[in-house]
Amino acid sequence: MNIKIIAIGKIKEKYLKDALNDYIKRLAPFCSFSVVEIPSEPILDDSLSDKYKISEAQKIIPFIKKNSYVITLEINGKSLSSPDFACKIKNIAYDGFNEIIFIIGGPNGLDISVSALADFKLSFSKMTFTHQLIRLLLIEQIYRAFKINANEPYHR
C-alpha cells in the first residue's frame, strides 16, 4: 500500500519534524509513505481567500492519480473512531486501490475543485487545527490504523 499526504504549507518547527519523522520510520514496515508539500499562498487580503484556494488547488490536482483513493480532510467530513479508520484503510486496499492520497488544505481550507475529487471526506473534529498539527495527528492515526489491522497492541 502506498500512502501519500499532499499538504499545503511546510513544517517549520523542529519538534514537529522530529515527531513526523518518527512516525514515518514506524510506518516503513506497513506501507510506502510520502509527503508532497505545496507552499501556501501568502495571505495578503482575507477577502481573496477563494483566489488563494483556487491557486493552491491548481498545485494540488496534478499530484492526484486517477487510480488513487482520495481522502480530503475537511471540517464537514465524516468523523471516524480509530478502529473505524483502520477498517476504512483495510477496505480501501480490499477494493483494489494501491494508493491512498490524503489532502490537507491550508489556512483557507480546500477549494471545491479539490473537495469534489474526494472519494471520502474525513473530519478529525469540528475544531480548526493548524496544518502542521493535523499532519502529525493524521500520520499518527495512519500508523495506529496499520497496527490495529495487524492485530498489534499499539492502539490501546
Domain boundaries of the chain, sorted by first residue? 2-150
| pTM score, whole prediction | 0.94
Q: What is the DSSP letter of 126?
A: S
Find out whether 121 and 72 touch, Cβ atoms under 8 Å. Answer: yes
Mean pLDDT within 121-133: 91
Rounded CA separation 2/92 (Å): 11
Say if CB 6 and CB 39 are below 8 A apart. no
Q: In this model, does residue 129 exceed pLDDT 80? A: yes
- Structure-block grid coordinates of residue 69: 483513493
> What is the mean predicted confidence (pLDDT) over 66-95?
96
- Label residue 39 exposed, middle or buried (CB < 10 Å: 0-12, 13-18, 19+): exposed
> pLDDT confidence of 128, banded at 50, 70, 90?
confident
Instruction: Quote the pLDDT of residue 6.
Output: 98
Query: What is residue 155's predicted lDDT score, i.e. its pLDDT?
Result: 60
User: Nearest to residue 103, comparing CAs of 130, 133, 128, 138?
Assistant: 138
Output the pLDDT for position 156.
61
Topology of domain 2-150 in CATH is Alpha/beta knot (3.40.1280)
10-67 tens-digit pLDDT: 999 999 999 999 999 999 999 999 999 998 877 777 778 888 899 999 999 999 998 9
At residue 123's C-alpha, the angle toward residues 118 and 125, to 5°, is 165
